[in-house]
Structure 1
Amino acid sequence: MAIICRIRLLDPGVIERVIDRNDIVCGHKNPHAFEKLRALLIMHFTARQSAVQELGEEQAGAITAHIRAHLNARLGDQFGTPP
């Protein structure tokens, strides 16, 4: 969804803007994809919070880092520059 909307999710402040429904971060307007991306981000943060509670911060962070590395290898910098 981020690629469809041309949103660089990893650039500073972008995820917060998407969650706040601020579509100024879109390089291409697609309201349906934007709302779906927003829902997926909320689901991600909910799942991560559960993972931290179940596995601890270190293991949850390792899972997140693995996923980020996998996406970066497949998609390059389309998501922006990681913090």
Structure 2
Amino acid sequence: MSLEHYNAELASIDMEIARLAQLCGIQMLQPGVAEAVLRNDSSLCNSTNPLAWEKLRGLLVLHYHVVAENAAADGVDAAAETLRQALQSVSARMRPQQQ
């Protein structure tokens, strides 16, 4: 797969993760939050939304799978760049909603 494909795939996954995190009332970029989501620790949610929580958790697992696949195919540096670009894209798109 090409770098552009990984960029688009991760940006799409991460955009949905950001939307679901908002629904659950959690800050995904805070230290330890992603790990807590992977451990299925829903106590950090500020609102109860089991459907959003399960989808969020599943997409986070998918996110890590895509990053690992990218690293295996193109190397760790390329995967890190893809991740940086996806995070930058999502941050830019989410900014207007965080007033």
TM range (shorter): 0.7 to 0.9
Q: Deviation of residue 63 (structure 1)?
A: 0.8
Distance 1:6 1:68 in 2: 19
The aligned amino acid for 1:14 is: V
Structure 1 or 2: more helix by fraction: 2
Structure-1 residue corresponding to 2:60: 41
Within the candidate set 66, 75, 78, 2:94 is matched to 75
In the alignment, structure 1 residue 30 sits paired with structure 2 residue 53:
no
The aligned amino acid for 2:84 is A
What is the Cα-based RMSD across aligned positions, in Å?
1.2
Letter in 2 for 1:28: S
Superposition TM-score, scaled by structure 1 size = 0.87
Name the aligned partner's letter for residue 65 of structure 2: T
Other-structure match for 2:22? 3
Unmatched tracts of structure 2, length 5 or more: 1-19
Q: How many percent identity over aligned positions?
A: 32
| Match of residue 3 from structure 2 | none
Shift of 1:28: 1.1
Counterpart in the other structure of 1:21: 40
Cα deviations across residues 28-56 of structure 1 (Å, max 9, x unaligned)? 11011001100000011111111000010
Aligned length: 77
Among 58, 61, 74, the alignment partner of 1:55 is: 74
